[in-house]
Structure 1
Amino acid sequence: MILRNVPFLLWCAFSSFLPLHSFSQSIKEIRSFQVTEAKQAVAVDEGHFYVINNSSITKHSKSDGKQIAMWDGSKEGIKHLNSGVVIKGKLYCANTNYPEIPMASSIEIFDVNSMQHVGNHSFGIAEHGSLTWIDQKDGFWWGGFAHYAGKEASEGRDVRWTSVVKYDSEWRQLESWIFPKQIVDLFTPKSNSGGAWGKDGLLYCTGHDQAELYVMRLPKSGFTLEHVRTLPAPVHGQGVAMDHWTKEKQIIFGINRAENKVVAAEIK
């Protein structure tokens, strides 16, 4: 018998071993909300989204974007909230003293129903840098720690020192990873501003300004995150959050700072 389709058969055999990043992925804006305070980040839960600015948080209805409540931390010494994530009725926000040096970081905790500040975890002078985002996955805490270039560099460290750190439930460090050079180059002169774990087990990261999502995953060996793909996105850097309350779709929330918009987009 003559195998006329040998090239096709070889391709089928080969394709079964192709890595995940060989397949396409897309992201599409599905809704946006005009919010004057949309400058830093957004967090999300089942019925609301939370716009995080340097020293304030506003709570909005997911259905129409209407503001429901506001927390103002300016009188409490809060100067640079970076991002947030909602877990079991609590909003956890990454907080830093950016652009001051030495870098210091904390996590500020809020009750989403009362919008009152209810807790704090301080890293003090953080050995890893400036905490820009936090998330939870598989019972562990994950945080992104930024370093910057130029006059914002700390103790001779530049953007290459930016890392993702894994903690247990009591904030004891377990592991950490750095970003590959091509992603560091895209972050520079700023750094990694946002990060959130998707339902697909991939980590979606942002820089400071670019309209892109950098899709990463943990490596099988070594200490450098694997770059799966870069997605052009309606999210312009800054802090992002996954909508884990939308069961059948993978929805990410972010901001377009230049247009004062909160954006919801579907990742397929």
Structure 2
Amino acid sequence: MSTRRQDEDLHISEHDLLRLTADMEEAHQATLPAMQAGTEELVEEVRTADVRRRGFLVGIGAAAAAFALTARSGEAPAYAAESSPVAKPSPYTGDLKVVALAVALENQAVMAYGAALKAAKAGRLGTVPPAVATFAVTAMNQHAAHAKAWNAVLTGAGRPAIKGVPLTNQAATLKALGKVTSVTGVARLALSLEEQAAQTYSFATTHVTSPAGIKTAATIAPVEAQHAAILHFVLGEYPVQDTFLPLDKAAKPTLLTV
């Protein structure tokens, strides 16, 4: 989404911000049935793929055992060379790696909004209009709902839920949050996270193989983009609707630390 800057101050009335926030919540609620259906379909797809994979591995194991039984009895046993400990493989592979990334990004947004609200309550952000706090709480709750839905996919597929923010950029995000001293500063940081999330979902629609995963990502992406659009207004930037979201800020699965 391209923008045209106006100035550094807030350029939206509380009335308009509350109206946009209400519209945002209405849009979010409208996506919930499709999101729920998509995540349930994705769990079934993963379970089916796992069953097929296990069947294939059992077949390979049986063939290997048969081969070993036919080996010459006089053949000297082979001993594996001593090696360094191998790192534990990630439980998240394939499309589930993208699902895990989605949970981590949603958790990161929840953390950021939560930290901002605490800073506002402590008086570290100056005067915070009530409408800004309402937007922050609403966006935070929506991110939490998305994280819960994606985590249900992971646990339903027999993988551990993502807890916290296992991302390599989390330390930098926390550092940036600690330096923020105004509503404008919080809005700009939140905007960077929202654009990252929206573009990551857009990226997923063309890089995930699961039809259900694609559908779910496509359902959530517009909600994240709406968060970003409202933040642009808060910052005095007027969004110009693009046909497609850019992908230059999309997070990659390599950002995960699990």
Q: TM-score range by the shorter chain?
A: under 0.3
Q: TM-score with structure 1 length normalisation?
A: 0.24
Q: Which protein is bigger by CA-based radius of gyration? A: 2
- Structure showing the higher strand proportion among its residues: 1
Q: TM-score with structure 2 length normalisation?
A: 0.24
Using CA pairs under 8 Å that are at least 6 residues apart, name the structure with larger relative contact order, 1 or 2.
2
- Structure showing the higher helix proportion among its residues: 2
